[in-house]
Amino acid sequence: MALSINDLKNGLTILVDGQVYMILETQHVKPGKGAAFCRAKLRNLKNNSVLERTFRGDEKVEEAFVEERKLQFQYRSGSMFHFMDTENFEDIAIPEEALQDKVKFLKDNMDVTAYYYKGDILYVNLPNFVVYKVTHTEPGIRGDTAKSGTKPATIDSGAIIQVPLFVEINDSIKVDTRTGTYVERVSE
């Protein structure tokens, strides 16, 4: 469906040069002289790059209908990650390149959201906050504040993140999967 520039708003997915983009910001401009236009900041959903584009008033933009599906992570086989569609129980294999840096935060049976365009997977979104168990970390030395109070820790998904000095092995911690940062220690 062709959209006019007046229909462009944040969160909408559109096609630009054959690629699927999500609109991050829009600024509609009506100068005193000349035709109106729209400046937009767009994120490519395939490779996560950001593009700034100006659309003229008479320009039409094609809307991209992106399908959202709930998947559950099952196992890894080489460079392929196998998920189960929670609606029809179909096995879906996703290559490591499509998951990008989210691979290090995947846990068995984790529910994720996958976004498809015309049957091709664009990207996979993990839950924002996930609880992990610390599998390895050095003991914190009391009074050692020269290192800003953090130390590296390995979590049960295999990722290494910075945690406060008081975190011990077998502690459960909440991690922000978007940034890979420690949020808080949780009790189970």
The 10s digit of each residue's pLDDT in 91-102 is 999 888 878 788
Q: Which residue has the higher pLDDT, 42 or 4?
A: 42
Domain count, the chain: 3
153: CATH: 2.40.50.140
Nearest to 150 by CA among 136, 167, 134, 135: 167
The predicted model scores a pTM of: 0.74
| 94 and 107 inside one domain | yes
Residue 108 CB coordination number (10 Å):
11
Predicted confidence band of residue 157 (pLDDT cuts 50, 70, 90): confident
Q: Look up the domain containing 76 and give its range.
A: 67-125
Burial of 43 (0-12, 13-18, 19+ CB in 10 A): middle
Q: So what's the pLDDT on residue 72? A: 94
Task: Please say whether the dihedral angle defined by the alpha carbons of residues 2, 116, 53 and 41, taken in this order, is positive or negative.
Answer: positive
Comparing C-alpha atoms, which of 177, 46, 34, 159 is closest to residue 104? Answer: 159
The whole-number pLDDT of residue 84 equals 93
75 or 3, which is more confident:
75
Q: Would you state the pLDDT for residue 132?
A: 92
- Cβ within 8 Å of residue 48, ≥6 positions away: 100, 123
Provide the CATH number for the domain around residue 33.
Answer: 2.30.30.30
Whole-number pLDDT of residue 143 = 61
Assess whether pLDDT exceeds 90 at residue 133: yes
Q: Over 70: is that where the pLDDT of 162 sits?
A: yes
